[in-house]
Amino acid sequence: MAQGADRSILVTGGAGFIGSHTVVALAAAGFRPVIIDDFSNSQQRVLDGLRDILGYDVPCYVQDCNDRAILPGLFQRENICGVIHFAAFKAVGESMEEPLRYYRNNLGSLMTLLEVMLETGVSDLIFSSSCTVYGEPETLPVAETAPVQPAASVYGNTKQICEEMLRDTAAAGKPLRCIALRYFNPVGAHPTAKIGELPLGTPNNLVPYITQTAAGIRPQMTIFGDDYPTPDGTCIRDFIHVMDLAEAHVAALRALQQLGADAHSHYDVLNAGTGRGHSVLELVRLFGEASGQRLNYRIGPRRAGDITAVYADVSKIQSQLGWSARRSLREALEDAWRWEEHLKQ
Ligand code: WQD
């Protein structure tokens, strides 16, 4: 359990999907999470859900973490000793239509955060990166040593550039100790159904589209292509329960805090996945079993930009953090469905 001064952790984007679940995991591990979120992609109800789960109000600053003026005071007032940085725009399609807005926000917020951290002497940072940096991997499972492919989207490029910024800052000997977690496909919700994935508008991602179809919000879901070179023709992904992913952030933060006092510059990347691939069709069928719902779906054309298959080599995160995903995909789908039903209430 975290004790004393090493407890207050700033969670940027902490009212978002992965951020809010990580707030729960931090509190369960004895940390004191503090949220900063501009609520551009979240709602107040997330804070209500966190209060229901934790039994207290998590301190929350409704601010833009690009705002250089407010961060130093916040770090001081809240005695921040580490940061988990989720705040970013993440819609792949939208990033292609508004590249400058994505570069400004995703790169600018990290640069601002790094400057303030170096200024205030806070050196521990967990960064939210993505498996999209691998593009279509040549070998599977994909390891961290796999080549980073030219980004297929502006969103993916912002993640690649952010990783380079972090790597170069640590390589310059600046007092930054950072682990970048490359997420695979986060799915599911907290088992209490008090928090979950709040897609505002039409969901881009698979599981919220499935649960909204099953709930009757969408008339039908489309499987984007069944002519891929995979066993059942549909794409393969590494779907990781969002609570497993949240706990990976805590394990990574602890690893930074356990680095010796002389390790004042550190940068590493770790795959945050299950190490298992499931096809879209497998997930659709598993959802039917997990929810007892008959899903109305059709097979449609491929979606531009989709890769055939990607799933993680998790040997590095297992050996470095002693962490492994421990929840099943079925459990994630049960939790996702429970959350969708809770949303209707
Ligand atoms: C998964 C599979 C679709 C919707 C995204 C982001 C990536 C990362 C993870 C943040 C694909 C298929 C989907 C639907 C479908 N996020 N699909 N019908 O594209 O693997 O990755 O989330 O870091 O950056 O791009 O996730 O859920 O959109 O798609 O058939 O209605 O489901 O074709 O094969 P993706 P996804």
Kindly give the distance from the C-alpha atom of residue 150 to the centroid of ligand 1, in angstroms, as a whole number.
Answer: 18
The yes-or-no answer on residue 155 being catalytic is yes
Å from CA of 126 to ligand 1 middle:
23
How far lies 257's CA from each of 7, 296, 325, in Å? Answer: 10, 48, 22
Task: Give Cα separations from 168 to 178, 180, 237, 341 (angstroms).
Answer: 11, 13, 30, 45
Is 0.85 topped by the overall pTM?
A: yes
Give long-range contacts, CB 8 A cutoff, 24+ apart: 196-199: 196/17, 196/335, 196/336, 196/339, 196/340, 196/342, 196/343, 197/17, 197/242, 197/336, 197/339, 198/17, 198/42, 198/43, 198/45, 198/46
Atom of ligand 1 nearest to the CA of 185: 9
Write down the pLDDT at residue 330: 98
CB 95 near ligand 1, within 6 Å: no
Could you read off the pLDDT of 20-63 as tens digits, one per residue?
A: 999 999 999 999 999 999 998 899 999 999 999 999 999 999 99
- For ligand 1, atom 36, which residue shows the shortest CA distance? 205
Contact 270, 182 (CB under 8 A): yes
> Is residue 232 within 8 Å of residue 222, measured between CB atoms?
no
11, 36 in Cβ contact below 8 A? yes
Partners of 236 in the beta sheet?
A: 279, 309
* Ligand 1 centroid to residue 206 C-alpha, Å: 6
Which of 102, 155, 297, 311 is flagged as catalytic?
155
Q: pLDDT for 279-336, tens place per residue?
A: 999 999 999 999 999 999 999 999 988 999 999 999 999 999 999 999 999 999 999 9
Residues lower than pLDDT 70 in the chain = 1-6
Atom of ligand 1 nearest to the CA of 159: 23
- Tell me, in angstroms, the distance from the centre of ligand 1 to residue 254's CA: 30
- Domain boundaries in the chain? 8-188+239-273
Ligand 1 pocket residue status of 235, Cβ below 6 Å: yes
Superfamily of domain 8-188+239-273: NAD(P)-binding Rossmann-like Domain (3.40.50.720)
Q: Give the helix/strand (H/E) hosting 253.
A: helix 242-257
